[in-house]
Amino acid sequence: MERLDFDYVIVGGGVAGCILANRLSADPNRRVLLLEAGGKDTSPLIAAPGGLLPIMLSGAHAWRYMSAPQAHLDGRTLYLPRGKVLGGGSSINGMAYDRGFHSDYDRWALAGNRGWSFAEVLPYFRKLESYAPARNAWHGSDGPIQVTRAAQNHPFARAFLNAGVQAGYRLTDDLNGETRDGFGTVDLTVGKGRRSSASTAYLRPVLKRPNLTVLTKAYSRRIVFNDTRATGVVFRKDGTDILATAAREVILSAGAINTPQLLMLSGVGPAAHLAEHGITVVQNLPGVGQGLQDHLAAHVKYRSTKPWSMLRFLNPLRGALAMAQYLTLRTGPLADPGMSVACMVRSDPAPDEPDIKILLVSALFAQNGRKMEPMHGFYAHINVARPESRGSVTLASADPDTPPVINQNYNATENDRRVMREGVRIARRIFAQTAFDEMRGEELAPGPAVETDDQIDAYIRAYAEADYHSTSTARMGSDPMAVVDAHLCVHGLQSLRVVDASVMPHLPGGNTAIPVAMIAEKAADLILGRI
């Protein structure tokens, strides 16, 4: 077998992998290999924020996974695309810059993970961003990722903010600042009209470093161990298996689905489950693949009486004009992902913090974004911010080419069902305000006949969709189900770390790309011995 020698081998060229490749290769004496199963992020649709629409409709640049049948969603299987391209999810997502709640990280620290409180991770959030609206105690201005405030000039967006005030909610100036309570404008990972992904922000500027090697279309097969020390990774490229050795560390940044799969294929995981597939156990860690969390999304959809939705840009002439405007001026519809306002609200007065997130979408999508309805409209995209339900990632086979079994176990607790149900009612109340009178047509979903708790629950079971925020399958901690410690080192093994959404003890109350970027920035300092 061909052999390549490095100091660090990073598996996964997504958000965390790109950041680690940059930070670890800054020392010219450290040889770094980044392995990415997908291709390069050269498509102009990735660069253009408005290119999100065709990326979603085509499913391009993604692992096109499907969930296991969901027991609490009428046994349905849900589409689960994962980034398969340099930059990972940050190259194909909706570009929302969202940190979650301050308390999310305080809960991580209270669970025994020293160094992960919000006060301790805030410097890393500030380090990674160049925040255009303002530099203040909450934001930085000289980081690699460009962050701008979404425009509020769309009539749907203005109506949403006004409706929030009319419904009795507050406006908040910064959903990623002191408080997330209320209605506000979304921050986007966009700069100068271009998507600011982890690849463009961190990887491209350093590709010419002689000590950094980036290989795409490289499929990691297994981690190699010498007793309990990780010594390298076997990957397949162009049909040939190659061994990449790691003199210092192997770092898994393949995401909350592929990281636990690779660990288990390599003999690290629940011993009984590995034995079922004839895999020799290197380390019995029952928590590998367990504790999976993800946001579930329900929708309240309305037809628009005005032709203002993104549907108009599917017209070939309008689409061509939009592309010309974007290429020449970096403005127009292709410079806007179409999701610019959101709110954080409470399902009832009791919670200390909001427990529902609602995002306004200026089009009528179906089938997880793979289809656009042929009519103008808008809808509320509703999440239970911090769900209780947990599922698992398990092996279907010892063959690395066989997708794992992904069971989020969505909607499994009564509280998750209650909060989502109230989210639907709150969205309806927002859209019923006079701010939407000019544009509101009939309610398309759930539909005016759906009113009782049982009816709303049935609608959610039948139509809710995955929201692509998988976490917690190799979580931090010191309890028997924890997989890594607070330094992200795998328990019981040497020279092996996990740096991605897998390590989150629980799902934050927001999108996950920026929390993963924070984790990677902090991990780089941990690996280099700076903290």
**In b/e form, how buried is each residue of 355-385, taking b as 16+ CB within 10 angstroms?**
bbbbbbbbbbbeebbeebbeebbbbbbbbbb
Residue type, 377: G
Tokens 């061509």 -> residue: 320
Tell me, what amino acid is at 433?
Q
Catalytic entry in 72, 154, 381, 469: 469
- Give the whole-angstrom CA distance, residue 475 versus residue 501: 9
Integer distance in angstroms from the first to the last C-alpha of the chain?
A: 38
Q: Are strands 187-188 and 182-185 parallel, antiparallel or unpaired?
A: unpaired
469 is catalytic: yes
Is it true that the peptide bond before 351 is cis, omega within 30 degrees of 0?
no
> What is the three-class DSSP state of 17?
helix
- How many separate helices (H) and strands (E) can be counted in the chain? 13, 29
- How many Å apart are CA 218 and CA 38, to the nearest integer? 7
Q: How far is CA 228 from CA 92, 120, 266, 398, in A?
A: 37, 31, 12, 20
For residue 364, CA distances in Å to 280, 367, 373, 427, 453 come to 49, 10, 5, 15, 25
DSSP H helical ranges for 270-315: 271-276
Q: Token digits for 495?
A: 């020279």
Contact criterion met (CB below 8 Å) for 210 and 32:
no
Distance CA 361, CA 156 (A): 9
| Rounded CA separation 312/444 (Å) | 19
Per-residue tokens: 142? 């000289």
Handedness of CA 240, 245, 246, 250 (dihedral sign): positive
The stretches of 277-351 forming alpha helices (DSSP H) are: 316-329
Separation of alpha carbons 85 and 88, rounded Å: 5
Q: At residue 51, what are phi and psi to the nearest 5 degrees?
A: -70, -10
The DSSP code for 243 is E
Q: CA-CA distances (angstroms) from residue 6 to 226, 325, 467? A: 16, 45, 36
In terms of DSSP H, where are the helices of 304-450?
316-329, 414-431
- The H or E element that residue 214 is part of is strand 212-215
Catalytic residue ranges: 469
